[in-house]
């Protein structure tokens, strides 16, 4: 799947007009329904993966689960199917950004705002809980916030319901390491709603402090900390928070599910109690707070560039979507960022700018793309931060956002 898909019509009805995001096994497009002229989001599974029975079952499972979930905090599904071996799901188009976008660009949040988002996430999970569904991949990237400040949970691809057949027989954990519960890391099949609530608590921790509760050099390091390390004191990292916040985190991030909040309603009741002891927002925080009655304050514009480490050559990143590659006039290939090295593919990677958030995506290049020494999975979009080191083939560059 690539830019050539733009303009294509799926099932004789859904015209692809823009690419919204790309993951490791599916791409999300903005589409127009030629029947009623409405705008939707359409997720298409990567064609080369359609023969993978387990991934296909995961994709179809997401559609089935969303069809049975109806809640204002869960992205709605309208249609799904298969068009010439292209498996697709048609969903609500959310006019907004992911929670990750605001965390990256605005830093630690005012406490009442962070708790408001956490409560909305938990309300959506309560609807899933009542249907016997466990999301299993709650993280900021899967939380969308629309223009009215309403949270929408998306990406139920790892979710399991009461009657879900186990697809993966190994004990390899699913989800993202920063937000995964100890029991899910040990055995994904043992996760229940308390695991999802653990993930919500890790997201709240990061919203309030600017960092997740556990960090490490590798995913394995982080998972081991989730399983063994003490819960860090959030009040030590952010002294303006009341001690009740520490007590909440100690319970919400307990190693044993039995020691945590049992249901989403219990979790939200505890959040409600926290709002009673939090100090009122400062005028500065109140001015920057997003709300239904307030106009969002955009983050200050920053300039991005990459610097080729071996030569010091500076390349400004001007544009929303730039191809990193190697020029080949014979084939008529002229990437926006030309790295004249034979180890660099002609179309090696994308660098994208989504309203100030920069990402990198490997285009299945022969010599791969690396981010801070980690080889990227082809077509998996990764967020960049100031000072990150990228390697395209043997060419090493530093990303700067100043």
- Give the catalytic positions in this structure: 137
For residues 145 and 96, the answer to whether their CB atoms sit within 8 Å is yes
Query: Do you know the residue count of the chain?
Result: 402
Torsion of CA 306, 309, 310, 313, to 10 degrees: 40
For residues 65 and 89, the answer to whether their CB atoms sit within 8 Å is no
Extract the runs of DSSP E, i.e. beta strands, from 23-165.
26-33, 39-45, 77-83, 86-91, 96-98, 143-146, 151-153
The closest of 127, 125, 151 to 136, measured between CA atoms, is 125
Distances (CA, A) of 98 to 21, 80, 117, 146, 346: 11, 23, 12, 9, 31
Instruction: Please name the helix (run of DSSP H) or strand (run of DSSP E) that holds residue 227, with its range, or none.
Output: helix 219-228
Strand order in the sheet with 381-383: 337-338, 321-325, 349-354, 357-362, 381-383
Distance CA 100, CA 377 (A): 20
């Amino acid at each position: 799947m690539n830019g050539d898909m733009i303009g294509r019509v799926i099932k004789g009805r859904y015209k692809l007009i823009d690419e919204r995001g790309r993951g490791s096994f599916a791409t999300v497009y903005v589409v127009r329904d030629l029947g009623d002229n409405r705008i939707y989001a359409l997720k298409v599974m990567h064609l080369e993966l359609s023969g993978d029975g387990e991934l296909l079952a995961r994709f179809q499972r997401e559609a089935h689960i969303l069809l049975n979930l109806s809640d204002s905090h869960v992205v709605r599904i309208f249609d799904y199917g298969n068009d010439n071996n292209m498996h697709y799901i048609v969903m609500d188009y959310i006019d907004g950004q992911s929670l990750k976008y605001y965390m990256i660009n605005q830093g630690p949040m005012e406490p009442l705002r962070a708790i408001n988002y956490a409560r909305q996430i938990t309300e959506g999970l309560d609807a899933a809980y009542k249907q016997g569904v466990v999301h299993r991949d709650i993280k900021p990237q899967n939380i969308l916030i629309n223009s009215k400040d309403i949270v929408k949970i998306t990406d139920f691809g790892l979710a399991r319901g009461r009657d879900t057949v186990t697809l993966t027989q190994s004990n390899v954990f699913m989800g993202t390491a920063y937000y995964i519960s100890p029991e899910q890391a040990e055995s994904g099949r043992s996760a229940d709603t308390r695991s999802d609530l653990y993930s919500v608590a890790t997201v709240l921790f990061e919203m309030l402090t600017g960092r997740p509760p556990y960090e490490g050099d590798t995913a394995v390091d982080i998972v081991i900390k989730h399983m063994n390390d003490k819960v860090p004191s959030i009040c030590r990292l952010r002294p303006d928070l009341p001690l009740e916040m520490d007590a909440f985190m100690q319970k919400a991030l307990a190693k044993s599910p039995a020691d945590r909040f049992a249901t989403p309603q219990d979790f939200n009741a505890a959040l409600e109690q926290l709002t009673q002891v939090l100090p009122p927002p400062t005028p500065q925080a109140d001015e920057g707070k997003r709300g239904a009655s307030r106009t969002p304050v955009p983050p200050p514009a920053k300039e991005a560039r990459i610097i080729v480490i071996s030569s010091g050559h500076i390349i400004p990143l001007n544009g929303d979507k730039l191809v990193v590659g190697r020029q080949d006039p014979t084939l008529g290939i002229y990437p926006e960022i030309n790295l004249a090295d034979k180890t660099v593919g002609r179309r090696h990677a994308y660098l994208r700018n989504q309203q100030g958030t920069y990402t990198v995506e490997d285009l299945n290049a022969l010599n791969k793309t690396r981010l801070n020494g980690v080889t990227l999975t082809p077509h998996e979009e990764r967020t960049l931060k100031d000072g990150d080191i990228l390697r395209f083939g043997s060419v090493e560059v530093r990303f700067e956002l100043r």
